Chains A and B, each alone.
Chain A
Amino acid sequence: MSELSTRLDVFKTYKLFVGGKFPRSESGRVYEVTDAKGQWLANAPLGTRKDTRDAVLAARAAVKGWSGTTAYNRGQVLYRVAEMLQGRREQFAAEVAAAEGLGGKKAAALVDQAIDRWVWYAGWTDKVAQIAGAANPVAGPFFNLSVPEPTGVVGIVAPQTGYGHSLLGLVSVLAPVIATGNTAVVAVAAGAPLPALSLGEVLATSDVPGGVVNILSGRTADLAPTLASHQDVNALDLTGAIAAEGPDSAASLEAAAADTLKRVLRPALDPAAQDWTNAPGTERLLSFLETKTVWHPMGQ
């Protein structure tokens, strides 16, 4: 084949995922994303504080519908995400390989685990209440039942480091949040945003209602503090926050979240040492739930 006839690839314009749509950043700006060796991969939208606020608005609007669906229906939707991801396995393997500097085999294994993790959480939707709820034998003629309910809008600072962080890590923090009926705004790994932005395309074709998941790339120092201080965010997952000083440090974000008494999930002591292939427990599922207890008298 002659060089002239070599076909030129079509590049993808990576975009944010907000309210079920794919906007560019309102800033009109992008930043360069490189692979582990410093080679240019793509330009990612430079999401801003305003983009974050727009995303929270979309997430809030989606709460009523998503939290109101049956747990069974949410399970079906999450399983559909796994099905769609399976169909794009090769694409994600390539993106994860480039993002994390991994060989193709390891990257593909990470994608497989990301798919399986969606399946794992799909199965949790209609079981959480069965392990987190309870019939309470109060000392009196009362029926007393405790049931978990979603907290609302959850801001997520996605993992920035750790083995498998770019996709498997993201799925590991996102899936439990929406499985229980919350909606999410995710500030993705700033240095490896491409698998996350592509995940938006999967979600958009998986019957996930618009606004349930909103995905932002950009500087964590811009996005995370906006989520932490936002009046309409109910909970904050700080998994990807840095321990060091700075506006996006875990301590300052947690302090900002205290103003509105957000529920906060703190990051691991050493985020870089986290291996996202480890099997999750139920902590993430149970972190963004409220418990509602109903009393009712018994009598003729």
Chain B
Amino acid sequence: MAKKNVDKDVEQDAPAAARPVFEYAPAPESPAAAGDIATSYGHFINGEFADSSGSEALKTVNPATEQVLAEFAQGTEEDVDRAVAAARKAFADWSALPGSERAKYLFRIARIIQERSRELAVLESIDNGKPIKETRDFDLPMVAAHFFYYAGWADKLEFAGFGRRTTDGHSGPNPRPVGVAAQVIPWNFPLMMLAWKIAPALATGNTVVLKPAETTPLTALRFAEICRQAGLPKGVVNIVTGDGRTGAALTAHPDVNKVAFTGSTAVGRAIAKQVAGSRKKVSLELGGKAANIVFDDAPIDQAVEGIVNGIFFNQGHVCCAGSRLLVQESVQDEVLDALKRRMATLRIGDPLDKNTDIGAINSAAQLARITELAAAGEAEGAERWAPACELPTAGYWFRPTLFTGVSQAHRIAQEEVFGPVLSVLTFRTPEEAVAKANNTPFGLSAGVWTEKGSRILWMADRLKAGVVWANTFNKFDPTSPFGGYKESGYGREGGRHGLEAYLDV
């Protein structure tokens, strides 16, 4: 393969030729499109917005400006108890509804989300810091599609392959729902994680108590309004806000039958310990350290787009982010050169600007963690590179960053950074690529870039990962199961497989 004569000096900024020739005019989305944000929020319990039994309130800020958006309640054990009781009370009627009627509620929710998608996209961007381009074109369409997909399953459960048939030919209580589901979700895709949890739970006849993350509660609370518009019976969906203490109270509640958690491996492990010995059904979707493996016959330009999408999508706040680039030694220089050129064109800044590629880091705490791990990368001897770019003065920001000379033992090769930081390693043979890719405690996703179909499938066969993307990355669909091997958790969300987590099969 012909190789370009590349610059050996990786310290310098992007080659001048790759700098944007034209400046972009700002194309800001209107913050007002998010609708009214109240100054303070309570929980959503039994179909009503309700004050907390406690007096502690948390604040959610716009991470791009550090301005406080709203106060919300720190859920107490008593709040959790009320919400679980409401869900328990609603369970009898909800689970007894014919599947076709449950389906129609979910179809209504899907349609209302579609109708209100602009409002929700802007609100999500403001509360989370992610670019409006992503909430508008990815999060919201995916949220609606997820409800749409699981709506269709609600009256077809006897066809889902769990070996049960109903006696009357209608889908009804059999296969049986589990009961009350406690759902704790992260801040990286607040509404999408809500959809991944609530849609299959409701479709299968469960009722839920959901706790959104403490930095991103607003869209979940807005979703409560949508439940009301859809006429969803009271208590079927309950939302309790708060931090990890609220989450722990929820997953520990004795009247909960199912625990669904997406978040860090550390918390996942704690939940697994907490429920040990109980009869609670558990699904965990935890961290990842995905390898994005580029062979020398890969289409380099496409691969570079995939690498950029893999690690810089959503500021790298993605559990399945392609945070380790494994590049075949023979094309290392070519790939890195193209990658740096591409990184230099990424636009960082105002999440509400439609041109923005990388928005704000979700919180000060997360920024501190990313900063600390990146410093560890340097301290352990890896070479750090980031394109020159101006960052806004207020808010939490981190430049898209690349580490070369990373060894498998480095912390940035083993720990989940959950930020826009890419570690580059090299390999010579497919066997070596597989060995290195599998050399983490995680196993959520992987990417393979090669023109050779048989190699894709050979690699896919050997990679210990729940999702393998070939010549693409970060693709999601409601019909496609998602979830991890090893310490990335267990259970699958999405697809026919996603029903199992909420059924007594």
Using CB atoms and an 8 Å cutoff, list the residues of chain A in contact with chain B.
71-72, 75-76, 79, 116, 119-120, 122-127, 130-131, 141, 143, 278-279, 282, 296-300
Contacts and interface: CB of A to CB of B under 8 A. Distances in A.
Contacts of A300: 430-431, 454-455, 458
Given A130-B495, A131-B161, A123 B458 contact: no
Interface string B163-181: 0000001100000000000
Contact of B148 (A75, A124, A299): A75
Contacts of B458: 141, 298-300
A298 B169 contact: no
A120 B431 CA distance: 48
Contacts of A299: 454-455, 457-458
A295 B125 CA distance: 44
21 contacts: A72-B149, A116-B104, A119-B103, A120-B103, A120-B155, A123-B152, A124-B156, A126-B149, A126-B478, A126-B479, A127-B153, A127-B159, A130-B479, A130-B496, A131-B161, A143-B457, A278-B169, A297-B453, A298-B458, A299-B454, A299-B455
Contact of B152 (A126, A279, A298): A126
A296 B151 CA distance: 34
A204 B152 CA distance: 24
B461 interface: yes
Nearest to A129: B479
A123 B155 contact: yes
Q: Is the interface of B mostly helix, strand, loop or mixed?
A: helix
B156 A127 contact: yes
Contacts of A116: 100, 104
A296 B169 contact: no
Contacts of A297: 453-454, 457
A123 B461 CA distance: 32
Q: Which of A71, A123, A125, A296 has the most CB of B within 10 A?
A: A123
B342 to A, nearest CB: 29
A123 B496 contact: no
Contacts of A296: 453-454, 457
Contacts of A122: 107, 152
Contacts of B457: 143, 296-299
A76 B479 contact: no
B145 interface: yes
Interface residues of B, number: 30
A123 B145 contact: no
Q: Which of A278, A296, A297, A298 has the most CB of B within 10 A?
A: A298
A123 B151 contact: yes
B107 A282 contact: no
Contacts of B148: 72, 75-76, 79
B61 to A, nearest CB: 36
Given A130-B495, A298-B461, A123 B153 contact: yes
B159 A131 contact: yes
Given A120-B156, A123-B155, 6 more contacts: A72-B149, A120-B155, A122-B152, A123-B151, A127-B156, A298-B454
Contacts of A123: 103, 151-156
A119 B479 contact: no
A247 B145 CA distance: 47
Nearest to B171: A279
Interface in B413-438: 430-431
A75 B159 contact: no
Contact of B100 (A120, A127, A143): A120
A137 B279 CA distance: 34
Q: Which of A72, A141, A296 has the most CB of B within 10 A?
A: A72
B107 to A, nearest CB: 6
A141 B453 CA distance: 13
B170 A279 contact: yes
A84 to B, nearest CB: 13
A75 B454 contact: no
Contacts of B100: 116, 119-120
Q: What are the 7 closest A-B residue pairs judged by CB atoms, nearest first?
A: A123-B152, A298-B457, A299-B454, A297-B454, A143-B457, A298-B458, A130-B496
B213 to A, nearest CB: 28
Contact of A279 (B169, B430, B431, B455): B169
Contacts of A76: 148
Contacts of A79: 107, 148
A232 B431 CA distance: 52
A76 B478 CA distance: 14
B274 to A, nearest CB: 34
A131 to B, nearest CB: 6
A179 to B, nearest CB: 10
Contacts of A130: 479, 495-496
A296 B452 CA distance: 11
Interface in B135-155: 145, 148-149, 151-155
